[in-house]
């Protein structure tokens, strides 16, 4: 949804790059799934599930907010590189990835 409605790209992405990135995310998901299945059911409880859901929603909200900041850098339709300075970009150069 972000790719369709939020992102404004300065150029195009090669098919090779898209495949490489997609394979990276797929590999990460598979590894994460393997490790998640190894967590003993002793640690799975309703309060922890609720906490996990709340942290996920918070992280995705922070991610979405910072993608909106990046989108607003190109409101005028320019294709030049601009450095964001709002939100957590003031403290870290990639807050839209650091919270996930």
What backbone torsions phi and psi does residue 80 show, to the nearest 5 degrees? Answer: -75, 155
| Lowest mean pLDDT across 3-12, 28-37, 40-49, 64-73 | 3-12
Q: pTM to 2 decimals?
A: 0.62
Most confident of 1-5, 21-25, 67-71: 21-25
In the structure, what pLDDT confidence band is assigned to residue 100 with cuts at 50, 70 and 90?
very low
Is pLDDT above 60 for 10? yes
* Tokens at 41, concatenated: 């059911």
What count of other Cβ atoms lies within 10 Å of the Cβ of residue 18? 10
What percentage of the chain has pLDDT greater than the value 70? 81
């Amino acid at each position: 949804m972000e790719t369709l409605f939020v992102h404004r790209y300065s150029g195009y992405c090669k098919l090779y790059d898209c495949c490489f990135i997609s394979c990276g995310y797929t590999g990460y998901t598979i590894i994460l799934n393997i490790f998640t299945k190894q967590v003993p059911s002793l640690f799975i409880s309703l309060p922890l599930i609720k906490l996990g859901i709340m942290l996920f929603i918070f992280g995705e909200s922070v991610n979405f907010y910072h993608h909106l900041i990046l989108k607003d850098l190109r409101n005028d339709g320019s294709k030049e590189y601009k450095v964001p300075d709002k939100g957590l970009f003031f403290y870290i150069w990639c807050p839209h990835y650091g919270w996930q």
